Structure 1
Amino acid sequence: MTRVKRGSVARNRRKKIFKMTEGFRGSGSSMFRMANQQNMKALRYAYRGRNERKRQIRSLWISRINAVAREYGLTYSTLIHKLKSLNILLNRKIISQLAIRDKEAFKQLITIL
C-alpha cells in the first residue's frame, strides 16, 4: 500500500482556524488547540447573539411604540389590543417606524381607534 501524506490537509485545516481567530487575545490566536477552543466558543456566542439581537430589536420597537402611544393617552397594550380587535394587521416593526418617522400617519392610526 502506498504512503498517504496529509501535511497539506492538516496545514489547511489549521490555517482556516487561525484565520478565524485573528485578533483574539493571547494564545487564542497563536496556539492551535486554544485557538480551536476559542473559535468554537466564539461561534456559539455568535449563534446565541443572532437570536438575542432579534429579541432586543423587538423590545426596542415595543418601547418606541409605547413612548409615542403615551403621548396620545394610550398604553402599548391597549393600542395593540384595539388594533387586533379592529383587525388592523400591522406588525410592531411597521407601527414603530410610523411612530418615529411619520407622526401624521401614526396620529391617523390613533384616530381610527
Structure 2
Amino acid sequence: MPRATNGPASRRRRNNRLKLAKGFRGARSKLFRQATEAVDRAQAMAYVHRKHKKRNFRRLWIVRVNAACRMNGISYSRFIDGCNKAGITINRKMLSEIAIHDAEGFAKVVETAKAKIA
C-alpha cells in the first residue's frame, strides 16, 4: 500500500502561502520557503505598523493644533493645559479638524483656554 502524504491539504497550504506572497519580487513570490519567510515578516510588520499608524496620526494632529495655537498667540502645551482646566474634552483629532475648517471656532476655544490659565 502506498504511503499517504495528505497531498491535497499540503498543496492547498502551499498555494495559500504563495497567494499571500503575490506581488513580492523574485523568489519571494515563487519559492515556498522564501515566500513563507517574506509573508511571516510582512504580517509581523503589518501588525507593528498598525500600532505606529496611531502614533503618527496623533503626532500629525498635535503639529496641526500647535500651528493653529501659535497663530492665536499661545503655545500648544499651554493651550492643552487651559483646555484641561476649562473642562474642554475635545480630542486632538477634532481639535485639528476645527483648526483647519473653522478658524473662528478654534479661536474661541483658544480664548476659553487662555481665560482659564491667566
Q: Secondary structure at the match of 2:30?
A: coil
Q: Any residues of structure 2 matched to 1:1-113 within 5 Å, and which?
A: 4-113=4-113
List 4+ stretches of structure 1 deviating above 6 A: none
Q: CA deviation at 1:111?
A: 2.1
TM (normalized to structure 1)?
Answer: 0.93
- Unaligned segments of structure 1, at least 5 residues: none
Q: How many angstroms apart in 2 are the aligned matches of 1:63 and 1:98?
A: 14
- What is the aligned-residue identity percentage? 38
Cα displacement string for residues 19-51 of structure 1 (whole angstroms, at most 9, x for unaligned residues): 010111111011101100000000011111101
Aligned length: 112
1:29 is paired with a residue of what secondary structure? Answer: helix
In structure 2, the gaps of 5 or more residues are: 114-118
Q: Which has the higher contact order (CA 8 A, sep 6+)?
A: 2
